C-alpha cells in the first residue's frame, strides 16, 4: 500500500494457484452475496483479462470459466482484496491470475508453468502500455504542469495526473469513441472526443485559469473532482485563502472609509454646534 502511494502504477497482477482463470474486480459485493458485481471499468477489465487468457496455452479453453475469465464476486466474494484496493485507492488496474489448477505445484512443474504463462504476462504488460489515452496537463498562463484529473463520460472513475509532470495514462478498450475531460481546481475544464485505435493515443490538455468569480462558484458548488482527500483539501485551502484574501482587503478598505466618513461627520457636527453657541453669546 505504501509502495502504491509512492508510485502511480497503471496496471498490476498477482499470481495464485488452485484454478486456471483471470479474475477481475469487483471481488466483493455490497450485499455480501455471490453475483456478478461490475465496477465502472468492467469493459476494460474484461479486455485485460481476455488478453491474458487468450494468450495462455489453455486458459481460454476452460469449461468452468467461459473464455477463461471471471468477475471476482461472481466466482466467490471476498473483501479486503488487493485488486479492489488498488483500483479504488491507487488508480491501478489489477488482475488476480490463477495460473495452475494445482494449488501446490511441484518445483519441477515451474518451468512448464512459466512456458504456459510467459506470453500472457508479456501481452498483458504490452496491453497496459499500448492501449488507452495518455498525455499531460498544462496551465496556459505559466506553462507549468498541473496535477489535474482525467474523467471519461459515462465511466464513474477518475485518474489523477502526476504532481511533478502533470502526466496521466488512462486505460480504455480499443476501437471505441470516448469523451475525455481534464479538470483542475482553479482552471476551466476542457473536453475532447477521441476515436481510439489499437494503440494508445496521446492527448495533451492546456487549461485556462478561472476568474475570481468562477473560482468562488466552483468552491461553493461542493465539487470534488475525484482526487485524493489530501490533494482536494490542499487545493480547497489554496482557493479559500485566494478568494478570502481579496474579500478581506475589500472589507478593510470599506471599514476605513466608513470610519473616516463618520469622523468627518462628527467633526462637522461639532463645528456647527460651536458656531451656534457662539451666535447666542452677547457681543
Tell me the catalytic residues.
98
Q: Which three cell numbers stand for residue 246?
A: 481579496
H, E, C per residue of the chain: CHHHHHCCCCEEEEEECCEEEEEECCCCCCCCCCCCCCCCCHHHHHHHHHHHHHHCCCHHHCCCCHHHEEEHHHHCCCCCCHHHHHHHHHCCEEEEEEEECCCCCCHHHHHHHHHHHHHHHHHHHHHHHHCCEEEEEEECCCCCECCCEEEECCEEEEEECCCCCCEEEECCCCCCEEEEEEEECCEEEEEEEEECCCCCEECCEEECECCHHHHHHHHHCCCCCCCCHHHHHHHHHHHHHHHHHHHHHHHHHHHHHHHHHHHHHHHHHHHHHHHHHHHHCCC
Alpha carbon distance 22, 67 (integer Å): 9
First to last CA, the chain: 96
Alpha carbon distance 222, 109 (integer Å): 56
Amino acid at each position: 500500500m505504501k509502495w502504491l502511494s509512492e508510485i502511480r502504477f497503471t496496471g498490476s497482477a498477482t499470481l495464485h494457484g488452485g484454478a486456471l482463470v483471470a479474475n477481475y474486480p469487483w471481488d466483493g459485493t455490497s450485499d455480501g452475496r455471490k453475483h456478478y458485481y461490475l465496477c465502472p471499468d468492467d469493459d476494460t477489465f474484461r479486455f485485460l483479462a481476455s488478453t491474458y487468457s487468450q494468450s495462455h496455452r489453455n486458459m481460454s479453453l476452460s469449461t468452468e470459466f467461459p473464455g477463461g475469465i471471471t468477475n471476482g464476486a461472481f466466482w466467490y466474494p471476498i473483501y479486503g482484496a488487493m485488486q479492489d484496493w488498488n483500483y479504488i485507492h491507487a488508480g491501478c488496474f489489477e488482475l488476480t491470475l490463477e495460473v495452475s489448477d494445482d494449488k501446490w505445484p511441484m518445483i519441477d512443474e515451474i518451468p512448464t508453468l512459466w512456458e504456459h504463462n510467459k506470453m500472457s504476462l508479456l501481452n498483458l504488460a504490452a496491453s497496459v502500455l499500448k492501449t488507452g489515452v495518455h498525455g499531460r496537463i498544462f496551465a496556459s498562463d505559466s506553462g507549468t504542469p498541473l496535477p489535474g484529473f482525467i474523467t471519461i463520460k459515462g465511466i464513474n472513475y477518475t485518474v489523477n495526473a502526476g504532481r511533478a509532470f502533470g502526466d496521466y495514462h488512462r486505460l480504455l478498450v480499443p476501437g471505441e469513441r470516448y469523451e475525455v475531460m481534464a479538470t483542475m481546481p482553479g482552471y476551466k475544464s476542457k473536453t475532447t472526443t477521441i476515436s481510439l485505435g489499437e494503440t494508445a493515443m496521446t492527448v495533451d490538455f492546456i487549461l485556462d485559469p478561472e476568474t475570481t468569480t468562477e473560482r468562488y462558484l466552483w468552491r461553493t458548488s461542493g465539487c470534488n473532482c475525484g482526487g485524493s482527500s489530501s490533494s482536494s483539501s490542499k487545493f480547497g485551502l489554496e482557493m479559500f485563502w485566494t478568494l478570502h484574501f481579496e474579500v478581506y482587503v475589500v472589507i478593510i478598505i470599506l471599514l476605513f472609509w466608513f470610519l473616516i466618513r463618520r469622523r468627518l461627520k462628527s467633526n462637522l457636527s461639532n463645528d456647527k454646534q460651536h458656531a451656534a453657541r457662539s451666535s447666542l453669546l452677547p457681543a
